[in-house]
Structure 1
Amino acid sequence: MNLSLVLRHILAAPGAVSRATIASRMGTTRATVSRLVDELCNTGLVCDCSPSGDASRGRPGIPLAPQFGRVVSLGVEINISYLSACAVELTGEILAQETVRGDFAGSDPAVAMAQLVDLARRVMTAAMKSAKAANPVFVGSGLALPGLVSLETLALAPNLGWRDLSLDELLEPLSDLNPVLVANEADLAAFAVANPRPGAPDGPASFVYVSGEVGIGAGIIIDHHPLAGAHGWSGEIGHICVDPSGPICSCGATGCLEAYLGLRALARSAGLPAGSTPEEIVSAARDGSSEARSAIATGGAALGRALSAIVNTVDIPEIILGGNVAVLADELIPPARDELHARVLQSPWAEPELRISEVRADLAVIGAAHKVLQRLVDDPIAWTNGIP
């Protein structure tokens, strides 16, 4: 625990903390902290930096930082319209990444995984070359999927058309890339927002992150920790019913948020062709299309109703819109905010903040890579024993 705590202090303020600083913050002796830091330095996880500060005011402390490129993790993702891979090292720098576009709706899991493995190997080859000087150690990979993921199975990924897949069988093609976790893509994107650098939870503390591609998902973070639920299936906001008499959703139910705000549903309601982008939908609305304006307004109101249910249940102070939802956000936010104001009981005293995230398609793979590295941060002794 103490080794982990020291490493967290260094990751939170790289190059800005010394042994004495950490000892003061931990309330322990400098000798104890020095011994722990030496252990981290001996395995190459941490290094001393050049002293800084005014030497005339006493001997400056030697600042500490994570060693660039010493440990590398990999995040990979299968989504309905792309495959993605991203390799990250302990300072948080992305060593290599690549995205391949395609249509994976109704795909054969084995074929899609084979394509993902080819992509992942290319990215890892480039990453290890980038980190070569540090004698890098690969600590594992994490897979992001758009569906319900338990410890043993992918129960359902409706937009991929995948159901009841054993994770052992699904991950077998990735075995040489040491897959150590599989999680929902929105949950991993939310983890990346809360933890923008490995081991450094200096993003917002408690929020709902709403992401959208063809489907709509969400990750819920409380005090920097994911609210996973009993089976790890929380955050399926796209399948909250916003109108029981509404259209049929891909999951088979009626009136789900996704049936209004999912990209294909939204394009259809806007009178635009299948495959239209969120930018094209916004452009049509701004160019005067009454169908597009109505579709976005209806989708925004549906979003507000679904979010109201979450806020009333979990008492979340902040809602962050990402992915395709962020592209549509300027038009979605007014009707969504109206619904939140009308339906959230706490609104007169503490109305939840609704804001737009930076539009990034790689948050899920970054979150997966960061979460793999978090395993090292949480239990560094298990890793320092095995790192040459």
Structure 2
Amino acid sequence: MAPVRGRRNGKSVGLVQGSASGLRTCPFKFFHECKDGKPGSVGFFRLLEHMQSTHLKTECRRLSLKGAISKDLDLFLDVAEVLRAGDKWLCGKCMVMHALSRGCKHDNEVVLFAINSGDVEDFIVGIRKPCQVVVDTNPRHPAGLGGKVNLLEHVFSHPTQTVKSIPPSCRLLFAQVLTGALRKVVASLGSVDNWVQLLLLPRCTLRVVRPSSRQERRSGNGKSLQCSNILHALTVWKDGSGFDDLVSSLLDSVEETGAPRGECRKEEDKERDPNIKQCLRKVRDGHFTAAVKVLCSNGVAPLGTSCGRDGMRAQHLLDAVGGEGSVTSSGLLASITEVVNLWLGGSCPKVLAEFVASVPLTPLLKPDKGIRPIDVGGIWRRLVSKVAMKKVGKEMTQYLGDYQFGVGVPNGAEAVQTVQTSSSTPFMQMVP
């Protein structure tokens, strides 16, 4: 997804205007951790060399920028203006810059630069100029707000399994990507897009890959396939414009695996049945203390605990801050702390309350034909709740004494829920 950019009026070149010192700002300043996008930067003397060595260096980056240019009118015009000022043109097929007198050779043709419209759009060949998008400036109805919420609901409605533990070779890159997503949330509090991307990050990058052949089902091949898919997804995400592609790939994979696939599908059902039977047996026997373990543990959740709808597990955070990911652990922990403080302060957009502060209930039958609600909240919800309880835990223990709520007490959970919804804490007020 291309970053939010300011709109331009007419044909003014806006951000790409050169200064008296000869410096020019990079049109890709919001991509690939460009130095021009950081505070204190004023541009480059040799802008075209910077674009070639930083943004058009790898095939993956060229593809991501090609998609961004084809969708963002402002980015298209900024890049074209830089090319015109530098007497260069950009081939849309290979994303390589050439001199105006040089052609770009492909398998069966040679692409040449030609002046057709007399405008800057002539300097980008092979990519059509995007249409002007009308933006609603009414703050009560931000553009794309309903679409992002609907996208989140649509993705969460599909069953997607994430890995229980991040492979060691992927932990450092995941820590960097997660840190970047958290920092984007802190940098722009009112942006629903950044919050949605943070919630969809685990599903888009850590989903389990199902082997499609006997060779892929072998132990070594399966692990290698899983690692390569995670690394590819994290690389696309880190490039800055691959969010839409990852979400589309996620939904496509869900649709493909959701349909019956003959004997392979039957084998998966057989493997899943024992787990379901084991879970139901524990519920019948009274072993339903998962929530109690979470509240009484020293950490956020016991190891191996299930994930919420977003797919993020407690083990994922442990993998990101330990082992190979420990190199960036200090920055990641600082970013997590800032975002947790935002949740506690009520800075999360209200439209995301049902995805962050609430939890879906799964009704299971008791032996006496009653209903036992089983809930598994997201890791961010548990982390924020744990921080809030840690702050008031000692005082509440002394205040409540030996009273017990929610376990073995009729309507105890309902009483606690009533207190939560009437609490003055902004995060608790988000709970529907």
TM-score range, shorter chain: under 0.3
TM-score under structure 1 normalisation?
0.27
Rg (Cα) greater in structure: 2
TM-score under structure 2 normalisation?
0.25
Q: Which has the higher strand share?
A: 1
Q: Which has the higher helix share?
A: 2
